[in-house]
């Protein structure tokens, strides 16, 4: 399934910045990618839309928002000039610490809705104390990644396109960490309908 709208590089940059600020001004690349996935997962299940509108892939280290990963890796090949200028106003790569992102400017919270701030806050509150590979291991328990586990582990492919529809599935109760994704089927069915309506409306304006 396509994203509801185009990727929002300002929201993605500020989401990275927001979480880096929560970490004291710097954050591991893998960790921030996993936290943004969890925030998108939380927000779409509660409000019927993702935050950054990215395309997700299942990869060996778990779900990855493709364009968020490009921003977090300061990937000049994939980042447009306007995106790069905006990114470098707020973030930089740590000089002596590989895969660490440093916040250099305060968060512009005006790019977010109240519900998006809520989601980012909630996810950091619940999962911010975990190390990057703890979050990787956690992500391997979720249904949107689990469905591709066999092909990824067999190395038939290095990535598989994910669907936002799968974010509405609950993970098992045996998660090694606190599970905040355990809403009732009725609630999830309602927000899934909102998501589908948002998607249909967005398609009318493509």
Computed over every residue of the chain, the mean pLDDT equals 92
Whole-number pLDDT of residue 1 = 41
**Chain-centre distance of CA 121, in angstroms?**
13
Where is 161: in which H helix or E strand?
Answer: strand 160-161
Q: Tell me the C-alpha distance between 12 and 92, whole Å.
A: 14
Nearest CA to 17 among 97, 108, 80, 99? 108
17-39 average pLDDT score: 98
| CA geometry: angle 64, 95, 123, nearest 5 deg | 35
pLDDT at 53 over 90: yes
Whole-number pLDDT of residue 130 = 95
pLDDT at 36 over 80: yes
pLDDT at 100 over 80: yes
pTM to 2 decimal places = 0.93
pLDDT at 95 over 90: no
Burial of 169 (0-12, 13-18, 19+ CB in 10 A): middle
Q: Tell me the C-alpha distance between 182 and 3, whole Å.
A: 24
Q: Tell me the C-alpha distance between 125 and 122, whole Å.
A: 5
Structure tokens at 61: 């280290």
End-to-end CA distance of the chain: 14
pLDDT at 3 over 50: no
For 127-136, the pLDDT digits (tens) are 999 999 999 9
Assign 204 a pLDDT band (cuts: 50, 70, 90). low
Whole-number pLDDT of residue 67 = 96
Query: DSSP of 41-97, one letter per residue?
Result: HHHHHHHSS-SS-PPEEEETTEEEEHHHHHHHTT-TTTS-HHHHHHHHHHEEE-SSS
Whole-number pLDDT of residue 205 = 58
Q: Tell me the C-alpha distance between 40 and 56, whole Å.
A: 10
For 160-175, the pLDDT digits (tens) are 999 999 999 999 887 7
Task: Express as a percent the part of the chain with pLDDT over 90.
Answer: 80
pLDDT at 118 over 80: yes
Whole-number pLDDT of residue 173 = 81
Higher pLDDT: 95 or 138? It is 138
Q: Tell me the C-alpha distance between 150 and 169, whole Å.
A: 19
pLDDT at 10 over 90: yes
């Amino acid at each position: 399934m396509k994203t509801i709208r185009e990727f929002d590089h300002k929201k993605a940059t500020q989401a990275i910045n927001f979480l880096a600020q929560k970490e004291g001004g710097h954050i591991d690349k893998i960790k921030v990618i996993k936290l943004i996935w969890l925030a998108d997962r939380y927000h779409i299940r509660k409000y019927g839309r993702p935050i950054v509108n990215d395309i997700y892939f299942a990869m060996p280290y778990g779900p990855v928002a493709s364009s968020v990963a490009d921003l977090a890796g300061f990937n000049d090949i994939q980042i447009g000039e306007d995106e790069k200028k905006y990114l470098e106003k707020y973030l930089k790569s740590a000089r002596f610490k590989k895969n660490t992102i440093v916040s250099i400017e305060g968060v512009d919270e005006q790019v977010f809705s109240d519900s998006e701030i809520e989601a980012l806050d909630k996810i950091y509150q619940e999962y911010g104390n975990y190390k990057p590979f703890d979050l990787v291991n956690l992500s391997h328990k979720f249904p949107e990644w689990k469905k591709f586990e066999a092909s990824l582990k067999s190395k038939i492919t290095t990535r598989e396109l994910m669907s936002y529809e799968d974010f509405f599935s609950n993970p098992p109760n045996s998660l090694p960490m606190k599970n905040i994704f355990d809403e009732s089927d009725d609630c999830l069915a309602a927000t899934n309908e909102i998501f589908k309506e948002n998607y249909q409306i967005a398609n009318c304006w493509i």
